[in-house]
Amino acid sequence: MIKRGLLSLIMFTVVFSSVVLFGNVPVTANEVKDANADKAASRLNADEIIVKFKPGAGLSYEDGAQRELAVKKDSALSGILSEFPDLKLNRLFKIFDKQSKVKEDKAKAVFQDYYTIPVPKGADVEQLLKNLNDSELVEEAYPKPVPATPSLASNTTPVLPSNDPNYIYQGYANAAAQGINAPYAWQYEGGDGKGISYADVEQGWALNHEDLAAHSITLLPGGTNDTTAADHGTAVMGVISSVDNTIGNVGLASKAQPVASSWWRTGGANIPEAIIVAADALQAGDVILIEVQYTNASGYVPIDLYSAEYSAIRYATNLGVTVIEAAGNGGLDLDTLQDTNGKYVLNRTSPDFRDSGAIMIGAGSDTAPHTRMYFSNYGSRIDAYGWGTGVHTLAAANMYATTGYQSGFNGTSSATPIVASAAISLQGIAKAEFGVAYSPLQLRELLRDPVLNTPSSSPSTDKIGYMPNLKNLIDNLPVPFFDTTAPSQPTGFTSPSQTASSINLVWNVSTDNVAVDHYELWRDSVLIGTTTTNSYADLGLTPSQTYNYTVKAVDAANNKSLPSSLSVSTSSGYTVTVYYKKGFTTPYIHYRPAGGTWTTAPGVAMPASEVAGYNKYSVYIGAATSLEAVFNNGSGTWDNNGGSNYFFSVGTSTFNAGVITAGVPVNNTVTIYYKRGFTTPYIHWRPEGGTWTAVPGVAMANSEVAGYSKITLSIGSAARAEVCFNNGSGTWDSNGGSNYFFNAGTSTYDSGTITAGTP
Q: How far apart are CA 331 and CA 373, in angstroms?
A: 8
In the sheet that 466-467 helps form, which strands lie side by side, from edge to edge?
218-219, 257-262, 197-202, 287-290, 322-326, 359-364, 384-387, 466-467, 454-455
Can you point out the beta strands (E) in 657-733? 659-662, 668-675, 682-687, 698-699, 701-702, 708-716, 720-726, 732-733
Looking at the chain, the whole-number percentage of residues with pLDDT higher than 90 is 65
Q: How far apart are CA 435 and CA 564, in angstroms?
A: 38
* pLDDT number for residue 402: 97
Say if strands 588-593 and 322-326 run parallel, antiparallel, or are unpaired.
Answer: unpaired
For residue 194, give the DSSP letter. Answer: T
Planar angle of CA 66, 79, 118, nearest 5 degrees:
45
Residues 6+ apart with CB under 8 A from 590: 598, 599, 601, 602, 603, 604, 629, 630, 631, 632
Contact 518, 510 (CB under 8 A): no
Residue 10 scores a pLDDT above 90: no
Q: How far apart are CA 598 and CA 602, in angstroms?
A: 10
pLDDT band with cut points at 50, 70 and 90 for residue 41: very low
DSSP helix/strand/coil, 129: helix
Q: Is 173 left (phi over 0), alpha (psi -120 to 50) or beta?
A: alpha
Lowest-confidence range among 65-79, 102-116, 674-688, 744-758? 102-116
Q: How far apart are CA 186 and CA 470, in angstroms?
A: 10
Better-predicted residue by pLDDT, 36 or 615:
615
Residue 495: how many CA atoms within 13 Å on its side-chain side? Answer: 21
Q: How far apart are CA 430 and CA 439, in angstroms?
A: 11
Contact 272, 309 (CB under 8 A): yes
Per the DSSP assignment, residues forming a β-bridge with 268 are 265
Residue-level length of the chain: 759
Burial of 340 (C-beta count, 10 Å sphere; 0-12/13-18/19+)? exposed
pLDDT digits (tens, 9 = 90+) for 194-232: 999 999 999 999 999 999 999 999 999 999 999 999 999
Better-predicted residue by pLDDT, 586 or 100:
586
The string of DSSP letters for 402-463 reads ---EEEEE-SHHHHHHHHHHHHHHHHHHHHHHHSS---HHHHHHHHH-TTTSEE-S-HHHH-
Residue 392's closest CA among 559, 249, 232? 249
Residue 626 scores a pLDDT above 50: yes
Amino acid symbol at 759: P
Q: How far is CA 200 from CA 205, 340, 426, in A?
A: 10, 27, 18
Q: How far apart are CA 273 and CA 267, in angstroms?
A: 11
Residue 244 scores a pLDDT above 70: yes
Query: What are the backbone angles phi and psi of residue 266, rounded to the nearest 5°?
Result: -55, 125
pLDDT digits (tens, 9 = 90+) for 71-95: 888 889 989 999 999 999 998 877 7
pLDDT band with cut points at 50, 70 and 90 for residue 668: confident
Contact 244, 153 (CB under 8 A): no
Contact 749, 673 (CB under 8 A): yes
For residue 486, give the DSSP letter. Answer: P
Q: How far apart are CA 250 and CA 720, in angstroms?
A: 79
Largest CA distance in the chain: 128
Amino acid symbol at 482: F
Neighbouring C-beta atoms of residue 705, cutoff 10 Å: 13
**Helix (H) and strand (E) counts in the chain:** 14, 45
Q: How far apart are CA 414 and CA 386, in angstroms?
A: 7
Q: How far apart are CA 739 and CA 726, in angstroms?
A: 12
Contact 750, 675 (CB under 8 A): yes
Q: How far apart are CA 199 and CA 585, in angstroms?
A: 74
Q: How far apart are CA 89 and CA 360, in angstroms?
A: 49
Residue 661 scores a pLDDT above 60: yes
* pLDDT number for residue 512: 87
pLDDT digits (tens, 9 = 90+) for 248-278: 999 999 999 999 999 998 878 889 999 999 9
Q: How far apart are CA 98 and CA 235, in angstroms?
A: 60
Contact 447, 467 (CB under 8 A): no
pLDDT digits (tens, 9 = 90+) for 19-37: 222 222 222 222 333 333 3
pLDDT digits (tens, 9 = 90+) for 371-396: 999 999 999 999 999 999 999 999 99
Give the helix, strand, coil percentages of the chain, each rounded to 5.
20, 30, 50
The string of DSSP letters for 276-311 reads HHHHHHS-TT-EEEE---EEETTEEE-GGGSHHHHH
DSSP run (H or E) holding 538: strand 535-538
Q: What is the mean pLDDT of the chain?
A: 88
* pLDDT number for residue 147: 60
pLDDT band with cut points at 50, 70 and 90 for residue 148: very low
Residue 39 scores a pLDDT above 50: no
